[in-house]
Amino acid sequence: MELYFMGTNAGVPSLERNVTSLALRLLDERRSFWLFDCGEGTQHQILRSPLKLSKLESIFITHLHGDHLFGLPGLLSSRAYQGGDTPLSLYGPPGLKKFVNTAMDLSESRISYKIDIVEHEGGCLFEDATFRVESAKLDHRISSYGYRVIEKDLPGKLDIELLKSHGITPGPLYGKLKRGESIVAPDGTTLTPSEVLGGPKKGRVVTILGDTRPCPSVIPLAKDADALVHEATFLHELADTAHTYHHSTARQAAEAAKEAGAKSLYLTHFSSRYKYEDQLQGLLHEAETIFPNTKLAREHGVYPVLRSGE
């Protein structure tokens, strides 16, 4: 599981940074990736990345401001031409379906794969055997949402030496044990999963927030998250400006991470006034004084989401 940023600027693109888009790479977990927001130019950023649109499984839109979704019609249209023929799920606030359908209809775009558009106002949006995705409303000028991606616990490691002593080698019997089934070993011994499996691996939690002022719903969304992605549009010296425009400062992002007990914080959505490296470092320093394990999101940067203790 890895975070891959493709746009970290707020409002408009600059020569240094594109507008918002973030991939959650799940290649080991699902052989796919999920996309969070799709600002203008996202498909160009994907072309410059190791990502393949044919592996895109789901898109989560935080809100309907242009810098977070104007790249969506082009990306949906291009996906089929890049080998994407599997169904695609698209989640976002009310109005998303109208935006997508209008753009596709007026441009007479032909989409050869199925798109399932799910409009929501928070709650549990998706759950299967490996992941659950929850959402809650934030505090922005229009309806904006944060997403909490919860990986379910994984089976513990098999005791390979014990299995070997019973004549069991890697193969179907390993799979049965990991699925919680008892087996009969070649030497006639019945083995239960509890005898040969260690404790389960705790699943990871990734929280990705849309644009927001500091608000109460941030904390449960980010509770004990292994990775929290939080906007940091301004330095705290511009806290009044941030409040007026329904955004957060780097300091406020760090305070939220600390209160929520997050393990790591990734700052993104930087105002275009911060063009130079020393200005970005100012945002980082402001957050680090409160929450030391903070990183600046860099475009085309890859950030592994580690389990606790790794």
Q: Is 85 annotated as a binding residue?
A: no
Q: Is 211 annotated as a binding residue?
A: yes
List the structure tokens of 310. 């790794």
DSSP result, the chain? -EEEEEE-BSSS--SS--BSEEEEEEHHHHSEEEEEEE-TTHHHHHHTSS--GGGEEEEE-----HHHHTTHHHHHHHHGGGT--S-EEEEESTTHHHHHHHHHHHTT----S-EEEEE-SSEEEEE-SSEEEEEEE--SSS--EEEEEEEPPBP--B-HHHHHHTT--SSHHHHHHHTT--EE-TTS-EE-HHHHB-PPBPPPEEEEE-S--S-TTHHHHHTT-SEEEEE--B-GGGHHHHHHTT--BHHHHHHHHHHHT-S-EEEE-B-TT--SHHHHHHHHHHHHTT-SSEEE--TT-EEE-PPTT-
Q: Is 63 annotated as a binding residue?
A: yes
Q: Which residues are catalytic?
A: 67
List the structure tokens of 212. 């927001």
Q: Is 187 annotated as a binding residue?
A: no
Q: Is 246 annotated as a binding residue?
A: no
CA distance 248 to 238: 9
Q: Is 140 annotated as a binding residue?
A: yes
**138 backbone dihedrals φ, ψ, rounded to 5°:** -105, -165
Q: Is 67 annotated as a binding residue?
A: yes
**Binding site members for Zn(2+):** 63, 65, 67-68, 140, 211, 269
